[in-house]
Amino acid sequence: MGDNADANKAAAAPADEAELTPEQQAKKAAKAAKAAEKAVKAAKAKARLAEQKVQLASAGTSDKKKKAAAASEAKQKEEAEELASALRAAEATPKGKKKDTTAAMPRSYHPPAVEAAWYDWWEQQGYFKPREGATEEPFVMVIPPPNVTGSLHLGHALTNAIQDTVMRWRRMCGRDTLWVPGNDHAGIATQTVVEKALKRERGLSRHDLGREEFLKEVYKWVEKYGGSINGQLRRLGSSLDWSRSVFTMDEKLSAAVLEAFLRMHERGLIYRDNRLVNWDCALRTAVSDIEVEDTEVAANTMLSVPGYKDKVEFGVMKEFAYPLEDGGGELVVATTRIETMLGDTAVAIHPEDDRYKHLHGKFLIHPVDGRRIPIICDAETVDMTLGTGAVKITPAHDAKDFATGKRNNLEFINILNDDGTLNANCGKYAGKPRYEVRILIEEFLTSKGLFRGTTGKDMVLGICTRSNDVIEPLMRPQWWVNCSNMAARAKAACAPSPQEAVKGESFGIRPPAAQRDWNRWLSNIRDWCISRQLWWGHRIPAFYVRLEGEDERAPGGADEMMDRWVVAKDEAAARAKAEERFPGTTISLSQDEDVLDTWFSSGLFPFSVFGWPTQSADLERFFPGALLETGKDILFFWVARMVMMSLSLTDKVPFEQVYLHSMVRDAHGQKMSKSLGNALDPVDAIEGISLAQLHAKLEAGNLDPRDLKKAKAAQKADFPDGIEQCGTDALRFALVSYTSQGGDINLNIKEVVAKRHWCNKLWNAIKFALLNLGDNFVPTPTHEAAGREFADRWVLSRLKATITSLAEQLEDYDFGNATQALYSFWKEDLCDVFIELSKGVLGSPEGGDPAVLQATRDTLWLCLDTGLRLLHPFMPFVTEELWQRLPRGASEGAAAPPASIMIAPYPRPADAGTEDWHNPEVEAHMKLAQNVVTKLLSLKSDSGVATKIKLKAYLAATDASRGALQATSDAIAVLAFCSSVTILQEGESPSGDTGVEVIDATTTAYIDLTGLVDPKKQAVKLEKRAAELKKQLEAVAERVALPAYSKTPPEFVEADNQKRATLAANLASVEEELRRCTL
């Protein structure tokens, strides 16, 4: 301190410097300067010392951080090695053998290790098959057969998660179960894939190979790549009886298709007619309605169309004029498809339109080929208020015009070849692509002075989902199913409610809204075109008869003689029929080149899989089925056709119940598609995937560069860090929990990740149990709740409530509420409350009451064993893994315990030994206690006190709640992290600084904050709280004062009264605390 003292002395020298000589002044100044310099140096030295201390402290902190990081890294490495070891051990299990679960549990849940080996063991044990010799009524489902060359998508994942949940539940309930797998041959999809591969790899078309050789190539492709989805279904845990797996092109199902066609044709249900179909020019085949997506197109939109180098403009209305035959004027019409004017055979006007009454009965001249075109009057076709009030009619290329043509006996002129080029009916335009002709026709009409201009117009285009081609309505002779009587019968078979369904006679639909859709659609059904211009599929068993010496008339063409078809099982039978019809004439036969619509064979699936038309033992036992679960989008394309065909061919409804799930959309409610980048592959959620890998999968596709850029941006926004490995169980539970009977499912991947973390909570619960039950624990044979501690009786009551709700919800297929009930029990009741409360007993086994210890262990075991069995249908892998690790023993009964949770009994409300579990009083007491805990924790948080700091709590109670609080005070102390919980006597107040919160009209909670909070700051918070409470009271008072309030229902009045009482009590307590803070 010396240097600083010298400086201070110099600073304190006398102010009168005149008494000093110049020499003295100089010496004094020099001395002062030196002292100042020393002071500066000392300050710098002190600063350097302080800096060094900071650096040393920082270095210490840095060292600590480095050590912490190193420790964390070492721990992660150790855990990774532990998990890798567990995975190696699981994967080392011989195929079909039971996994060894005797080793210590890894410290965390690892989906690959948990899911390994179990499925093969289940299958090897025969758990997926119906029981031999079983006589009770079976529970049967057939899978909606996925495409043989397809891959798993979220729709499949949802369907199979729901179906497997139902099947495992029914199996555990003791039902003899059968779930039949199979694959659909997927005519268009499979043929398209193989044709593209042939072109890419060998430069060949199917026509280059010929039909027989091409079909060999398809079978090779199916053998090599087909069925991969079956492996993915195994990955999902689907408990299908693979020994019964079928393929819609195999011998058994093909025989059913043949017999169905023959019978339906014989009854007049299948007929030949020349009608409009959805024609795909790129695929050169008719396609079903389900393969056509109605797409909204804005005005003047340019779209890419297969086969065209340049984009084609859509959303344009073009007007042109037809000259009158007598030269007396013209008639202007408008169209978005001007090229179809080459097939116009009339122009329609409204019979009451005064503008055109002078044209009744007159003719127009076609400007291209000079044909006379009649002007017809048709009130059904024409709306006088739209456009020019005149409508061009093209009966062969428009559904409405087709009907108009039939009503008015018009000529039907087809202008298109199968490939979308114009045919010989179009003169100089023959052979040219349709959209090139669109431009040429406009140029021609302009040159003739007949073009009147264009207007942008929003429109809807039918786009084929297989080829992205624009669908063309086209006239073709095809085979059709007459649906009118079949539909009426199917409509009548739908029971008023699912509960009223009678097996074989009627069926129920869930959700209820689907029944209205069912009735509406079947009431307006159209006949079904079943011809497809493909080679892959069930070839139509129809033969065209040609008589010797006749002109060649190709079947399928406009000049086909439709009475020349004979339908028979083979050519020999067809020849016999033809010779009988045309005796004494030399004939030749050619089988129809077309195949049947894939939906035809799918419509037979519920009974063809059991050998129909043979009256087999399987058909007798397993048909009709119990449940058909599928997406609501194919209610009409598949479900309706199954019902219609089953009633027609077997006289039975194919299933007792239909459950329809909704469409899966992304987290933003958008439809999932590759072009949007939001199509989630379920395997990516199961295994995890990086953002770079997600991008790579997009790049491997054939997206337009602009769509690719958008898709990548969407992926980056939704999955910035990729997708975490979640496992099968988490994905299944998340999908099923989203299921609601109605709206679409907006799937957020974060929910799947959350369920994966929940699996880890289950894992830790079992680890806790194994640690605390002890090596020699054997469950007590009796399960009664009587005599157990409060927490034990409470959790058993909650378990009973969960069992009861699950029984009702699963019977109603209410999966959303069922999963919520399970999640709530496991997380909120068992893990967050009971396990926390049990730690005090289980943590001191030596010093506690042995009877209480055994009862607590028994209760914990009961909850875990029962909870896992409740959860198993939803999450099969993790529940099997954990259940196998739990002790088994006398509590299972005299018989040997089940080898697998799959065949363990599903908990039911009426199970023996659980009669006294339901305890409303205990649950009410704990509910009040939990409310108190919530308020106490909230008080801590509001006061800035860490949750786990233990404080004293006080509870003021009326007689109505005093008993409940006394019974639960220990539980409150544990759950709210309180050092003590004191029940105050009537009129007693806590001492010191306290936080206060009114629980309800009977209970007020206080927490001791003495020395922990600033009274002034606490007073500010209390004033703010008091103001909020006053505002809420005023709002209730204003509502009650309204004149209309006198009409308020009594239950709402009572609720308002209770709310006012609680708010007033809360305000009084806050104001009292505020008074004490300001003393």
Size (the chain), residues: 1079
Q: Between residues 52 and 280, which one has the greater pLDDT?
A: 280
Query: With bands split at pLDDT 50, 70 and 90, how would you rate the model's confidence at 629?
Result: very high
What's residue 36's pLDDT?
45
pLDDT at position 73 is 76
Which pLDDT does position 59 carry in this prediction?
60
Instruction: Tell me the whole-structure pTM to 2 decimals.
Output: 0.84
- How far is Cα 470 from Cα 466, in angstroms, rounded to an integer? 11
pLDDT category at 740 given cuts 50, 70, 90 is: low
> How far, in Å, CA of 929 to CA of 582, rounded?
92
- Closest to 575 in 3D by CA, of 616, 607, 545: 545
Q: How far apart are CA 227 and CA 523, in angstroms?
A: 38
384-399 tens-digit pLDDT: 988 899 999 999 999 9
Q: Strand (E) positions, 1025-1076?
A: none
Rounded CA separation 178/982 (Å): 59
Name the DSSP letter for residue 1009.
Answer: -
Are 358 and 323 a contacting pair, CB within 8 Å? Answer: no
pLDDT of 848 strictly over 90:
no
CA atoms within a 13 Å half-sphere pointing along the CA-CB vector of 851 = 3
Alpha helices in 548-689, H assignment, sequence order: 571-581, 598-603, 605-608, 617-622, 640-650, 682-687
Quickly count: other Cβ atoms within 10 Å of residue 123's Cβ: 19
Q: How far apart are CA 487 and CA 1009, in angstroms?
A: 75
| CA nearest neighbour of 333 among 352, 312, 317 | 317
Q: Where is 565: in which H helix or E strand?
A: strand 565-567
Query: Is the model's pLDDT at 741 over the cut of 80?
Result: no
Q: Which of 537, 50, 639 is nearest to 249 (CA)?
A: 537
Residue 321: name the closest of 369, 360, 366 by CA. Answer: 366
Mapped onto helix, strand or coil, the DSSP state of residue 462 is strand
Between 149 and 45, the higher pLDDT residue: 149
Q: What is the pLDDT of residues 98-147, one digit of tens each?
A: 999 999 899 899 999 999 999 999 999 999 999 988 888 999 999 999 88
Q: Where do the H-state alpha helices sit in 173-299?
A: 187-202, 206-209, 211-225, 228-235, 251-266
Task: Please give the pLDDT value at position 1059.
Answer: 82
Calculate the dihedral angle through the C-alpha atoms of 664, 666, 670, 672, rounding to the nearest 10 degrees. -70
pLDDT at 774 over 80: yes
**Residue 17: its pLDDT value, please?**
39
Which has more confidence, 375 or 224? 375
β-pairing verdict for 664-665 and 745-746: parallel
Residue 22, pLDDT score: 46
- The pLDDT value given to residue 930: 95
Those residues whose C-beta lies under 8 Å from the C-beta of residue 796, and which sit 6 or more positions away, are: 785, 788, 859, 862, 863, 914, 917, 919
Please give the pLDDT value at position 50: 59
Burial class from Cβ neighbours inside 10 Å (0-12, 13-18, 19+) for residue 42 reads middle
- Higher-pLDDT residue of 456, 552: 456
Exposure letters 611-638 (e unless 16+ CB within 10 A, then b): bbbeeeebbebbbbbbbbbbbbebbbbb
Instruction: Please write the tens of the pLDDT for every residue from 633-665.
Output: 889 989 999 999 999 999 999 999 999 988 888
pLDDT of 1033-1069, one tens digit each? Answer: 888 888 888 888 888 888 888 888 888 888 887 788 7
Q: Averaging pLDDT over each range in 226-240, 481-495, 695-709, 715-729, which range is the top one?
A: 481-495
Structure tokens at 773: 């039950």
**pLDDT tens across 658-699, in order?**
999 888 887 777 777 655 667 788 888 999 999 999 898 888
pLDDT score, position 47: 57
What is the pLDDT averaged over residues 770-789?
A: 89
Helices (DSSP H) in 774-849: which residue ranges?
790-811, 815-823, 835-842
pLDDT at 227 over 80: no
Separation of alpha carbons 647 and 866, rounded Å: 43
Q: What is the pLDDT of residues 534-549, one digit of tens each?
A: 999 999 999 999 998 8
Helices and strands (DSSP H and E) totals, the chain: 33, 33
Amino acid identity for residue 666 in this structure:
D
What is the average pLDDT across 824-843?
94
Contact call for residues 605 and 142 (beta carbons, < 8 A): yes
